[in-house]
Amino acid sequence: MADPRAPRPAFAPWDRRELPGLFDVETSARRVGAYAWVEMRLFEALGGWVATVPELDVKLVLGRHCYHHAWHAELWHKRLPELREMDPARLVVPGDDAVAELLAAVAEPEAPERTIEKLVGVYRVVLPRKIAAYTYHLAATSSITDAPTQRSLRFILTDELDDWREGEMLLQSLIETPEEVERASRLQAELEALVTRAGGIAGPGSIGGAGTGEVGGDAVPSPPG
C-alpha cells in the first residue's frame, strides 16, 4: 500500500472537471426559476388532464408523469435559495412572455376526444425543448462551482428522456389516420412557432447560440496553466 502520508493532488488523475463555466450565479438562478415555472405548469396540466382522457393507459401515464414534473419543480425550488435567491417567487416566472403563451396553449385542450392534442403539446414540443435546455445547462455550467445544479439536471434528464419516449409511443399508438397525423402536426407547428418566438423553453438563450445575450463567454475565465 502507498504511504498514506505522501501528498496527493486534490483531483484524482481521472477527474477532468474544470472550473470555468458559462453561467454566473445570477444567470444560473434565473434559468432555474424559469425551469421551476415550466415544471409547475406542466404538472398542473397533466394532473388536470387525468380526469379528461378516456384512454386508461394514458390516464395512468399522465398520473405518473405529473409527479415527475412536480418533483422537478421541487428540486428547482430548493435550489433557488442556494443560488442566493431568498425569495424564490421572484424568479419562478416564465423565461419569456411567449413561454407563458405556450404553456397556456398546451394546457388548453380539455375534451375527451382531444387526447392527441394534449400529448402533442407535452411530448412533441415541451419535453424536447426542456431536454434541450437542460442538456445545454448541464454542458455549459461549471462542473465544480455549479455541481448541485448539474446533479439535479442529471436526475431530471433521466426522467425527461424516459417520459418523452413513453409519451411519444403513446402518440404513435393513438395516431392511426391521415387526419390524425394532420391534427398532430398542425398543432405541433403552432406550438413550435410560439416556443421559437420565446427563444426556447427557458426564454432567449435556452440552448445558447449567437445573438441571445445569454452566452457572453466564460463567466469564470480559465486559470493560467
Partner 1 sequence: MRRHLPPADLARDARFVRTSIMESITDPRNRAIADRRLGPARLAPDRPAAADRARNLMHGIFMGELQALEGAGRTTFDFDDDEAPFALKLDMARQCWDEARHVEISVRLAEWMGTGIGEFAEATFLYEAACADDPVLRLCGVNRALEGLAIDVFNTMRAFGETAGDPVLAFCEDWMLADEVTHVKMGSDWLRRLTADDPERRERALEFQRTVDKLFSLGGFRGESDENPVRLARRLRELAGFTDEEMDEIAALADESRAEADARAGAASA
Q: What are phi and psi of 21, to 5 degrees?
A: -150, 160
User: Is residue 156 involved in binding partner 1 (CB under 8 A)?
Assistant: no
Q: d(Cα 121, Cα 124) in Å, to the nearest integer?
A: 6
Could you say whether residue 110 binds partner 1 (CB under 8 A)? Answer: yes
Closest CA to 182 of 117, 96, 107, 118: 117
Per DSSP, the residues of 78-93 read HHHHHTT-S-HHHH-S
User: Given the complex with partner 1, which of 107 and 138 has the nearer CB atom?
Assistant: 107
Check binding of 119 to partner 1 (CB under 8 A): no
Which stretch in 93-101, 106-114, 122-130, 164-172 sits in contact with partner 1 by CB under 8 A?
A: 106-114
Candidates 49-57, 126-134, 145-153, 197-205; binding stretch for partner 1 (CB under 8 A): 49-57
Expressed in percent and rounded to 5, the helix, strand and coil fractions of the chain are 65, 0, 35
Per CB under 8 A, 47 contacts partner 1? yes
Instruction: Say which residue the cell 412557432 belongs to.
Output: 193
Angle between helices 97-106 and 178-198 in degrees, nearest 10: 160
Cell of 74: 421541487
Amino acid identity, position 30: R
- Contact set for partner 1, span 61-90 (CB under 8 A): 61-64, 66-71, 73-74, 77
Give residue 45's identity as a one-letter amino acid code: A
- Binding segment toward partner 1, per CB under 8 A, in 45-53, 166-174, 175-183, 200-208: 45-53
Sign of CA dihedral 155, 159, 164, 165: positive
Residue 65 or 124: which CB sits closer to partner 1? 65
In the complex with partner 1, which residue's Cβ is closer, 156 or 215? 156
- Biggest alpha carbon distance in the chain? 73
* Interface with partner 1 (CB under 8 A), residue from 33, 109, 121, 200: 109
Among 18, 82, 97, 108, binds partner 1 (CB under 8 A): 108
Which residue, 34 or 53, is less far from partner 1 as judged by CB? 53
Residues in the chain: 225
Query: What is the smallest separation between the CB atom of 202 and partner 1, expressed in angstroms?
Result: 19
Give the nearer residue to partner 1 in terms of CB position, either 167 or 205: 167
Q: Is 183 in the site for partner 1 (CB under 8 A)?
A: no
Binding site for partner 1 (CB under 8 A): 40, 43-56, 59-64, 66-71, 73-74, 77, 107-110, 112
